[in-house]
Amino acid sequence: MMATSGSIRLVYFNTCYSQHQAAAIVSHVEAAVGMIDTIGDEAARVFAAQFYSAIGFGKSVSQAFQQAKALVMAEGISEANTPQLFFREALKEDEIILVMPKVESGNGVPSRQ
């Protein structure tokens, strides 16, 4: 992991009881998601899909995490609190943005950068 820590910023453990791995890995990456308990397939699918979608639209890791939890709750799935988000010390949660959104030109059309 140390050899690649310059390029890996987030690790997502989509497996039951993975909070200890997530907590440990943040000494090498900026953020990690782990599960504090078992997580069912539907909860894992809904959470991961929304989490990655929000990141892809330029949300911070923290915002994406909160959106994913909210969607799991909205779907009536009881495991919204199973995923846990861990950060490296001294990092501000909302500053970790993995995908920068495209900047729109003056005419409202996204530009390619």
For 72, the token pair is 């799991």
Determine if the pTM surpasses 0.85.
no
Query: What's the pLDDT at 96?
Result: 83
Q: What's the pLDDT tens digit per position in 25-76?
A: 999 999 999 999 999 999 999 999 999 999 999 999 999 999 999 999 999 9
Closest to 12 in 3D by CA, of 84, 66, 103: 84
Q: What's the pLDDT tens digit per position in 7-24?
A: 889 999 999 999 999 999
Query: What's the pLDDT at 69?
Result: 98
Three-state secondary-structure class, residue 86: strand
Q: What is the mean pLDDT of residues 90-108?
A: 73
Give residue limits of the domains in the chain: 10-95
